[in-house]
């Protein structure tokens, strides 16, 4: 089983991917983890890094993602672009409002995210980062992350608990595996 989870910051991608990986005994991959490791190693926060990411680093991550998709079977990939590089995966997009995403992240901050003084500041930074990345992907790949037809399922997590989202993702996985 191959699953990709894409979505906005704070939508629950990492939390849900980790839960499903454990429940279904899947290997968990995360482009965010790969990028955070590279960014922190170079002394950047992920926000600063996303605006200066060299094409070479994107290419390395893309190649690794594509290789995993071609050589492995039982995994879940928490990534904005994995759906593109692993076309035979079950592709799920998790959406969230910038405000709710910021609230969730503010409650459980990561060292690599950079400190925000307020949820509003974090929401604005998340919006700017999303738009920067979205434009980069359109230019580089001619690929718009917001097109729903790129995914097998699109879930707005804004007003749902993680438990509700997990149940919905599991229902989608179950129905697509039987199809």
CATH code for the domain of 158: 3.40.50.300
Phi, psi of 29 (to 5 degrees): -115, 150
- Cα 54 to its chain centre, rounded Å, is 19
- Does 77 map to a domain? yes
- Does 142 map to a domain? yes
Which single residue is written with the structure tokens 């926000």?
47
Please tell me the pTM assigned to this model.
0.86
Phi, psi of 122 (to 5 degrees): -65, -40
- Cα 85 to its chain centre, rounded Å, is 14
- Does 62 map to a domain? yes
| Of the candidates 11, 28, 5, the residue with the CA atom closest to the CA atom of residue 153 | 5
CA distance 151 to 27: 21
- Does 107 map to a domain? yes
Structural domain count of the chain: 1
CA distance 163 to 144: 28
- Cα 166 to its chain centre, rounded Å, is 15
pLDDT in tens, the chain (179 residues): 999 999 999 999 999 999 999 999 999 999 878 777 777 777 777 667 666 656 767 887 898 899 999 999 999 999 999 999 999 999 999 999 999 999 999 887 665 556 778 899 999 999 999 999 899 899 999 999 999 999 999 999 999 999 999 999 999 999 998 65
User: What is residue 144's predicted lDDT score, i.e. its pLDDT?
Assistant: 95
Note down the domain range covering 59: 2-165
- Does 175 map to a domain? no
- Does 177 map to a domain? no
User: What is residue 40's predicted lDDT score, i.e. its pLDDT?
Assistant: 76
- Does 122 map to a domain? yes
User: What is residue 116's predicted lDDT score, i.e. its pLDDT?
Assistant: 74
Residue 172 and residue 153 in contact, taking contact as beta carbons nearer than 8 Å: yes
Which residues partner with 3 through β-bridges? 76, 90
CA distance 105 to 168: 22
- Does 178 map to a domain? no
User: What is residue 113's predicted lDDT score, i.e. its pLDDT?
Assistant: 58
Which single residue is written with the structure tokens 């070479």?
56
User: What is residue 49's predicted lDDT score, i.e. its pLDDT?
Assistant: 67
């Amino acid at each position: 089983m191959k699953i990709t989870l894409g979505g906005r910051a704070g939508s629950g991608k990492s939390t849900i991917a980790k839960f499903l990986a454990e429940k279904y005994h899947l290997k968990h991959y995360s482009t965010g983890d790969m990028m955070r490791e590279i960014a922190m190693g170079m002394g950047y926060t992920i926000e600063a890094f996303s605006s200066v990411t060299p094409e070479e680093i994107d290419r390395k991550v893309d190649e690794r993602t594509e290789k995993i998709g071609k050589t492995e079977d039982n995994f879940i990939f928490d990534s904005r672009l994995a759906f593109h590089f692993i076309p035979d995966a079950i592709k799920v997009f998790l959406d969230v409002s910038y405000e709710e995403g910021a609230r969730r992240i503010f409650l459980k901050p990561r060292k690599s995210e950079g400190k925000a003084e307020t949820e509003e500041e974090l929401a604005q930074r998340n919006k700017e980062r999303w738009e920067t990345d979205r434009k980069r992907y359109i230019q580089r790949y001619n690929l718009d992350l917001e097109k729903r037809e790129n995914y097998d399922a699109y879930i707005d997590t804004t007003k749902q608990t993680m438990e509700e989202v997990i149940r919905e993702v599991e229902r989608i996985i179950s129905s697509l595996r039987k199809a």
